[in-house]
Structure formats: C-alpha cells, structure tokens
Structure 1
C-alpha cells in the first residue's frame, strides 16, 4: 500500500532533542569529555566576565560551537551559524533547545574574540590531557616531536619593504627579479609571518611554524606551540616542549633527520632525554650506541604517527590555510585544534 505524503506540518513535537541523538553516536562520548573539561574551566570563565551588563554568549557554548567548526571543517562563522540553525545534532552538542534562536555570525565572532584574547586554549588543552592521563592513555617516557609550516592569512603581494610607508597596491609593481628577504621586507597584512620555503625547488610562502610533541603510546598530542618560520625554530621549540615534561629516567624522543643537529641532540641530553633522531648518512650527531638499540628502532616507527596529527589538523581542522592574523591568535587556534584532535582520539580509546 502506498503511503500518503502529509503536507500539513505538526504544530507540536512530543519528542525531545535528547532522544533524537542515538545513544551509540560517538558525539555523545565527545560531549561527555568536553563537559568535564568545561567544569574545570569554570573559575577562569568567572574571571573573564563581569557580573553586570548585557549577557554574552555563554563561553561553554562558544567552545562547543568552535569544536563543531573544527570537527566538520566549516570554514566560516556564517556557515557555522546556518548549520547550527537546522542541524539538531549541532543544537544538542552546543546546548541549544529546539526553539532557541541562533546567534548572528558577527555577534558570535565578537564573543569568540574574547576567548582568543585569553588563555582558555591552554586551560582547555590541559583539561583534556588530564582526562587522558587519568585513564593511563598517555606515556610519560617516550615522545615524538616535529614541526610543520602553516600558510599565513596573507598574500605574498603584501610582503613589502619595511621602510615603505605606503600601502597602496594599485601601482602595478612588478616583483620579478627583485630580491626580498625577511631582513628588509615585512608583510603588511600579518607582520608576524615570515617568508619561508620548505626545501629546494619549492616556492616561498608567508608562513608561521607549528610544533607538536606527541606521546608514543596512543599518539596523543602532549604540547603544541607556534613560532616564526625558521629551521632553527624546530630545534628550539622541540627542547622547550620537552623541558615541560619534568624529569624521569629512561625518557626518549623520536624525530626526523632535520633534528639531527648538535643543538637539539645536546639540548635533549641536557634534559636527561635520549634523542632517537633519524641519523644522517654523513656527520650525524648520534652514533651506534644509540642507533643500535631496540628502543631506537621502536621510536623511529612510532615517530611517523605524528604526521597523522598534522594531516588531521590541516585537512579536517582548517589549519592548512590560516584564517587568523598574528602569532597570538594563530597559537590559540593551533593549540585548540590540537585539543580537538585529542578528543577524536579519546572517543575511540575510551571504552
């Protein structure tokens, strides 16, 4: 028998929003982890907001909405608000009811900027990390480190001489054949970005450099930092992140050949950490006393998992082409995206 299509909409709905989300849906596990982390951030939220004045968007809902933007690769706040208006799962995750009005995209962006000017990214990242550590999902002895280029939200045409006071791009200036460097030129759009190229034969781009430290048990991100683009910045950021891990005997760190330098190897050993870097064929800073061990072989296998983090953060987490200007904002978004990646791993690891 053919069913009849009803064109008359029902006036009331007797099914609540909670029951529309399947109990086996992985978003429920993510929501539970996020809610526990937000409880820990309650004192920080209280200090950020005044007790009087017009109520703003609750910071808890802001953070949940930003997480959805990363999880589902939504490039703009306008698209995020549109999705939040009709998607019941989005409404449930953020904490809006069926009848709640969705915010204007400009209002959402203005309230988000308050979070970008705070240390909520570090607090939220640490809160997620503590939950993983409490379940013994993170190794405290064996790590991997690497860095990647983050293309800045600025055009190469904005890379102008530092002593040039004009900012008019309508003069049709031809840059062909001109020598430009970070010492003499600077981006007028994002002054914190640097002109850098990944290797010989590659084009130069305005970039920031993102660094992460992962643990080797489940590949969770332990630390995340953003510096200016530069080869030596990888070694400096690597030792800085390792120094935050405390002192324990028998610790190791795996890395690629780019870290086979005297600065990083000696810096790691100074922290009591054995550097399991991929050895160069000529003039390597490590010898067979390190490369001949079984632990070195394991570290070289485990360190390649760090590329999964960078791949997810760029392809899913909107970090391939940055949407924010300035190293402070880029650092905030980079660390928050790292926390989002850890959430995607925890929903699988937590039984």
Structure 2
C-alpha cells in the first residue's frame, strides 16, 4: 500500500508546489497529511487527536509516513489548518484518481460489469441543531451550552421547513423504515466487479432522489476514464 501511495503522491508534486510558497515557516508535507488520513481511515482511529498521540510510539505508522524515530508527532490542528487548502485544490480526488490509474495499468480493472451503491454518511451535526428556517435566534441561555435540552415533541420537521444551524448543507434522512432519521449526506460508490475495486465515489445531498440523479454523472465520469459500465448493477433505490 505504501508503494502505491508514494507513487501516486509523486505524480501530485506539481499540485503541491502550486499550493505552498517557498518563504515562511516550513509546513507539514501534504504527502504526510494524506497518508495520515489513510491510516486514520484504515485503522478506524476515533479522532485526529488520538492519531497524533499514537503516532508518538507506533513504529509502523512512522515507517508509513517516512518519519524517523526521533521526529516528533505533529499537532492535530495541522489537519484542520491544511484541510481547506487540500480541498480547494481537489487533492483528495487527484490522489484517488492516481491510485485508480495504477490499478488499471496493472490490469486489475475491467472496463465492463460495474455496480453502484449508496450509503448515508452521518453529518457532524446534532439533531438539536435542526431548527425551523424562520426561527429567530433564542435569547434564552441554554442549561448546557455543549448539549442543550431541546423538546421536539409534537413538532413536524422536514428538509423543506427546517435546517441545521451548524451544517446547513446536511439533510434529514434515514436508511429506511424502522431506522432513525439523521442529518446526513449520501455517498455513491462505483465498483468494478472483477476485483471489487472502487473506481469512483461522489458525495451528494440526501434529497431522496439523489441515487437516480447521480447515475448519469457517475457513468459520464467513468467513460472519461475509459470505462464502459455495461451492465450496471444497482439496488432498487437507483431505479
């Protein structure tokens, strides 16, 4: 995995050069931040703070990030400070695309037989923040500023009339009957069936019709990469 990641990051060097200036205090290499994000995902680390603490003594992680034994771990604020810059230059998408190109060059991807599936991605926003759009800010001091008590009994809430005050882009959604509603986004994965590899992933609002709406864009992007998904498997949400 390290070999694939390092090879992809070499291809992104021109992008990194454009992102960072040559003067001022040296920054944490963006390559290291991207590979650290991979480790956080693969090892299900609960937070960036926990990752930085464990990096102080985890030799495998240090090897993966090309860090010496004596080099101090970086602060968790490094992630938040650099995330905006990485998003602005669409670095994560470029990194992903480079990995897909490597898999294709090794003959690991079929140009046919794909499957698309969606998953709800819970937003970092509490249901307590889901308030009426025309509701003025309350002057009442909450009993607990970090987790205020809110009574929604008898109140009908929908995406038409309500909106999260902390994440306005999130939408109220649920997986199906019997599941609780959450503020979420919808992720769409395009998988190659021969080896089960992910070749595209897109994030949309959980509108209720997002599954059907996103398929044309997924197919268009796949064709730009040289893939021709036929047939395309999907569950009934994409009908």
Tell me whether the two structures share a fold, i.e. TM-score over 0.5. yes
Structure 1 distance, partners of 2:47, 2:27, is 20
Structure 1 distance, partners of 2:8, 2:229, is 31
Q: 1:145 to 1:248 in 2, by over 3 A?
A: closer
Structure 1 distance, partners of 2:12, 2:228, is 33
Structure 2 distance, partners of 1:198, 1:174, is 24
1:194 aligns with 2:171: yes
Structure 2 distance, partners of 1:102, 1:129, is 30
1:256 aligns with 2:227: no
SS of residue paired to 1:213: strand
Corresponding position of 1:270 = none
Q: Any conservation in 1 of the 2:111–2:228 contact (CA below 8 Å)?
A: no
SS of residue paired to 2:121: strand
Structure 1 distance, partners of 2:227, 2:82, is 42
Corresponding position of 1:96 = 67
For structure 2, the residue ranges without an aligned partner over 5 or more in a row are 144-148
Q: 1:169 to 1:66 in 2, by over 3 A?
A: farther
Corresponding position of 1:227 = 204
Q: CA RMSD in A?
A: 1.9
1:78 aligns with 2:49: yes
**Which of the residues 10, 14, 19 maps onto 1:43?**
14
Corresponding position of 2:142 = 170
Q: Any conservation in 1 of the 2:190–2:201 contact (CA below 8 Å)?
A: yes
1:142 aligns with 2:113: yes
Q: Any conservation in 1 of the 2:62–2:69 contact (CA below 8 Å)?
A: yes
What displacement does 1:197 show?
Answer: 2.2
SS of residue paired to 1:231: coil
1:182 aligns with 2:159: yes
1:243 aligns with 2:220: yes
What displacement does 1:115 show?
Answer: 1.9
Q: Any conservation in 2 of the 1:56–1:111 contact (CA below 8 Å)?
A: no
What displacement does 1:98 show?
Answer: 1.3
Q: Any conservation in 1 of the 2:114–2:229 contact (CA below 8 Å)?
A: no
Structure 1 distance, partners of 2:230, 2:213, is 19
What displacement does 1:175 show?
Answer: 0.9
Q: Any conservation in 2 of the 1:77–1:109 contact (CA below 8 Å)?
A: no
CA offset digits 1:80-118 (Å, max 9, x no partner):
111111111111111111111222222343234432333
Q: Any conservation in 2 of the 1:213–1:238 contact (CA below 8 Å)?
A: no
CA offset digits 1:118-176 (Å, max 9, x no partner):
31111000000000000110111211011111111111111101112305672855211
SS of residue paired to 2:28: coil
**Which of the residues 169, 183, 186 maps onto 1:206?**
183
What displacement does 1:248 show?
Answer: 7.2
Q: 1:79 to 1:153 in 2, by over 3 A?
A: same
For structure 1, the residue ranges without an aligned partner over 5 or more in a row are 1-29, 261-351
What displacement does 1:207 show?
Answer: 1.1
Structure 1 distance, partners of 2:112, 2:105, is 16
Which has more radius of gyration? Answer: 1
What displacement does 1:212 show?
Answer: 0.7
| Matching of residues 270-285 of structure 1 within 5 Å | none
